[in-house]
Amino acid sequence: MSEPERTSLEECFGDMPDPRVVGRCDHKLLAILLIAICAVLSGAETWDEVEEFGAVKEDWLKQFLELRNGVPSHDTFRRVFSLLDAQVFQERFIAWVEQTFRVKREQVIAVDGKSVRRSHHRAAGQECLHLVGAWATANGITLGQRKVEEGENEIVAIPELLRHLYLKGCIVTIDAIGCQKDIAQQIIDQQADYVLALKANQGRLHQDVVEWFEWAQQRDFRQVEHTYHQTISKGHGRIEVRRCWALSNPQALEVLGHHEGWPKLTSLVMVQRERRRADLLQTETAYFISSLPPDAERLLAAVRSHWHIENKLHWVLDVIFREDDSRLRVGDGAENFAVLRRLALNLLKLHPAKMSLKRKRYKAALDDNFLLELLSQV
């Protein structure tokens, strides 16, 4: 297969609408954007650090950027990114990802929410920034994000995010808050499949699925058409056993489909997780509905893959990029800096060097050639 035709950052972000007054700008918007991207790649976590990076690397940056008035101040970075339309910036980011990375089809796209915990402003009555993101589990990249507006919840933001993603042939997994028939319909309309977690927020539906599996278990699944799969993993002093049953009982699906109006509802899924330590045994049971055929092995893999968004995106953003510690809160600044982090994360993961993300950022700060390699991938 041929390599994807990658789109440069300049091509994707070069014509972004400039929120500043025409004729009163000392620095070009593209230069501000690219300096910020380079700085975040190299470990910057605040606008002051972005300015410091630019000041130290000014001679190097002048090889590629027009900096007739030097490097912008931290106040300029803060002001520009607070005014920059976050929705437009996110849409450009999503387009850049789709054009730059070969997003594998038939993979799991995990959708989940994350808060930037210290971005609140209690004196002004401003809650912390909450974002819904999408993670391509096979590619290991973030596909996009959408802000959850104050007074709303993820149910509103999820469809807006999905609408901008190319989902054809993929499996979309969402936690219980996204288990909504309108969201399921949108996923089907975008030619993808869904695996949605069920909890008490879907009271009657959740209870019906629980009762069907209780009935099947009482019969030991005899004469109940189903599939079963089990995995066992060891590590960190514990053993984890996961068991999955998937059934497609026509009578159950007819009742659920008619009552709730779920599109292309095909499978009911039960997953039992068992965690064993030397002196501890923990068990839990979770239920799901899916448009996929009742293939327990495939469905269990999709359920397990969903947690990659927690371990490989949210954890990385908080530990490597220190997102939770960010105090940015003016205008769209916090949201736009979140895009910069995700853009940097994708570039770092794209580079084939066999080292941790933390080491890649450190090397980018020290080695101009390595930083150029990161940027030259696109």
The confidence score (pLDDT) of residue 1 equals: 33
The confidence score (pLDDT) of residue 174 equals: 97
The chain-wide mean pLDDT, for the chain, equals 89
**115-136 mean pLDDT:** 78
Q: How confident is the model at residue 122 (pLDDT cuts 50, 70, 90)?
A: low
Q: Which of 278, 197, 202 is nearest to 236 (CA)?
A: 278
249-254, Cβ contacts within 8 angstroms, sequence gap of 24 or more: 249/212, 249/216, 249/224, 249/225, 252/208, 252/212
Cβ neighbourhood burial of 277 (10 Å; 0-12, 13-18, 19+) = exposed
C-alpha distance from residue 321 to each of 55, 139, 225, 228, 326 (Å): 21, 20, 48, 40, 9
Q: Are 130 and 147 in contact (CB under 8 A)?
A: yes
**Range of lowest pLDDT (127-136, 161-170, 202-211, 353-362):** 202-211
Classified as helix, coil or strand, 221 is coil
Greater confidence (121 vs 157) lies with 157
The confidence score (pLDDT) of residue 330 equals: 72
**Range of lowest pLDDT (118-122, 198-202, 205-209):** 118-122
Q: What is the C-alpha to C-alpha distance for residues 44 and 276, in angstroms, rounded to an integer?
A: 41
Q: What is the C-alpha to C-alpha distance for residues 53 and 56, in angstroms, rounded to an integer?
A: 5
Strand arrangement of the beta sheet that strand 171-174 belongs to: 141-147, 129-136, 108-116, 171-174, 193-198, 280-290, 267-277, 238-247, 226-235
pLDDT reading at 21 higher than 90: no
> pLDDT per residue over 266-307, tens digit each?
999 999 999 888 788 889 999 999 999 999 999 999 999 999
The confidence score (pLDDT) of residue 4 equals: 44
**207-224 mean pLDDT:** 89
One-letter amino acid identity for 243?
R
**Range of lowest pLDDT (253-267, 277-291, 297-311, 359-373):** 253-267
Q: How confident is the model at residue 250 (pLDDT cuts 50, 70, 90)?
A: confident
Per the listing, tokens 């101009």 go with 368
Q: Which of 293, 258, 270, 294 is nearest to 181 (CA)?
A: 258
Q: What is the C-alpha to C-alpha distance for residues 172 and 145, in angstroms, rounded to an integer?
A: 15
**50-78 mean pLDDT:** 95
Q: How confident is the model at residue 125 (pLDDT cuts 50, 70, 90)?
A: low
> pLDDT per residue over 33-58, tens digit each?
999 999 999 999 999 999 999 999 99
Helices (H), the chain: 9-13, 29-41, 47-56, 58-61, 74-83, 86-100, 154-163, 181-189, 203-218, 250-260, 296-306, 308, 315-319, 333-350, 357-366, 368-376
